[in-house]
Amino acid sequence: MAPGLLTAGLLAIAASAAAQAQAQGRPGSEPAPDPVFDHTITLEASIGYGSTDTRVRLDASDGTPGTVLDAEGDLGLDSGEMTGWVGVILRPRPRHRIRAGLNYLASDRRARQALEEDIRVGDEIYVAGEEVESHLRLRTWSVAYAYSFLRMPRAEAAFSLGVTSIGAYAKAGVPARAVSETEERSVPAPQVGVEVAARVWRDWYAEARYQYVKVNASGSSGRLSQLDAGVVFQFDRNISVGLGYSSFDVDVESNDPGDSGTFRYKTQGPRLFLRAGF
Tell me what pLDDT residue 105 has.
Answer: 79
| Higher pLDDT, residue 102 or 13 | 102
pLDDT band for position 186 (cuts 50, 70, 90):
confident
pLDDT band at 132 (very low <50, low <70, confident <90, very high): very high
Cα 90 to Cα 95, 96, 142, 165, 223: the distances in Å are 11, 8, 14, 20, 28
What pTM was estimated for this model as a whole?
A: 0.83
Look at residues 98, 260, 118 and name the one whose alpha carbon lies nearest to residue 195: 98
Place 259 in a pLDDT band, splitting at 50, 70 and 90. confident
Give the model confidence (pLDDT) of 199-226 as tens digits.
999 999 999 999 999 888 777 888 999 9
pLDDT at 9: 52
The residue among 2, 44, 43, 16 whose CA lies nearest residue 194 is 2
Question: Is the CB of residue 58 less than 8 Å from the CB of residue 181?
Answer: yes
pLDDT of residue 31 exceeding 80, the answer is no
Q: Which is higher by pLDDT, 148 or 180?
A: 148
72 and 79 in contact (C-beta within 8 Å)?
Answer: yes
pLDDT at 257: 81
What pLDDT was estimated at residue 249? 96
- CA torsion sign for 39, 234, 206, 275 is positive
Give residue-wise pLDDT tens across range 51-93: 999 999 999 999 999 999 999 999 999 999 999 999 999 999 9
What pLDDT is attached to residue 240? 97
State yes or no: pLDDT of 148 exceeds 90: yes
Query: Given this model, what pLDDT does residue 27 score?
Result: 46
Domains in the chain, number: 1
94 has a pLDDT exceeding 60: yes
Q: Is residue 4 very low, low, confident or very high in pLDDT (cuts 50, 70, 90)?
A: low
Q: Average pLDDT, whole number, for the chain?
A: 88
Q: pLDDT value at position 217?
A: 76
Residue 126 has a pLDDT of 93
pLDDT band at 192 (very low <50, low <70, confident <90, very high): very high
Q: Domain limits at 13? A: 2-277
CATH assignment at residue 253: 2.40.128.100
